[in-house]
Homo-oligomer: A and B are copies of this chain.
Amino acid sequence: MSKIPVIEIFGPTIQGEGAVIGVKTMFVRTYGCDYRCSWCDSAFTWDGSAKDIVRMLEPEEIMDELLALAGSNFDSVTISGGNPALLGDSMGQFVDLLHERGIQAAIETQGSRWQDWFYEIDALTISPKPPSSGMKTDWAMLDSILEKLKVPGKGTHSLKVVVFNEEDYVYAKTVHQRYPEVQLYLQPGNDDVTEPGDISARLLGRLEWLFNLVIADPAMNRVRVLPQLHALIWHNKRGK
């Protein structure tokens, strides 16, 4: 059986962002990413700084570790990265294991790769990266992923764009106009993911800025603007 490169397993905690904001969840963070976003808040998943703590685990081993950590104290697992969509059958098998136990699976990926197990995810967040990331969106790939997800009853999915500046906001609007039938979440970016101490005032200032852009813009009536609750409460600490 193929294995999954895991860099972190933690929880239970509360999902702080996106379509399932506020849900109690465990986190499994996979190693490796095809992107190098300038402001990545989890750069240790790809910059080599933490590669010594990566473990190659079978799906059952991850399941065992989740149960050892939290027992019956969770009904949801969020798979994050890195880009978990770099993984094929091994991830599909892990999602099946979760479902066998009645546990929901949430996942976030940038929309640069397709995997058939996307259809099985209870909350699939496709999060293309705006210009401030330094990455370039592969629109043909994104189109093809969102087209495939149109199968009725398959794939509960949403879009999310992190917005750091006006150029990113224009990008988010392009995404919304390209896929108007998919719920789009906007999230203000965290400009400094290493700042120590309480960063909530800075983050709430950015949330107000993004609220005001959307409030003034008739092209964005159906988007939803949400903060990162975990960053408001636990700031830049890892593993929360």
Contact = CB atoms under 8 A, between A and B. Distances in A.
Interface of A: 12-14, 20-24, 71-76, 185, 200-201, 204, 207-208, 211, 214-218, 220-227, 229, 232-233
Nearest to A70: B218
A34 to B, nearest CB: 29
A21 B185 CA distance: 11
Contact of A204 (B23, B200, B218, B225): B200
Given A185-B22, A215-B12, A218-B71, A227 B229 contact: yes
Given A24-B214, A226-B22, A208 B220 contact: no
* A-B complex: 4 closest residue pairs judged by Cβ atoms: A22-B224, A75-B221, A73-B218, A22-B226
Q: Give the most central of A71, A76, A204: most B CB within 10 Å.
A: A204
A232 to B, nearest CB: 6
Can you tell how many copies of this chain the complex includes?
2
Contact of A225 (B14, B201, B214, B217): B14
A14 B72 contact: no
* Contact residues of A: prevailing secondary structure: mixed
Given A200-B204, A214-B14, A227-B229, A221 B24 contact: yes
Contacts of A201: 200
A224 B17 CA distance: 12
B221 A208 contact: no
A20 B21 CA distance: 11
Q: Which of A23, A24, A222, A226 has the most CB of B within 10 A?
A: A24
B224 A21 contact: yes
6 contacts: A22-B185, A23-B224, A24-B215, A73-B221, A207-B233, A232-B232
A75 B222 contact: yes
A196 B226 CA distance: 25
A224 B15 CA distance: 9
A187 to B, nearest CB: 9
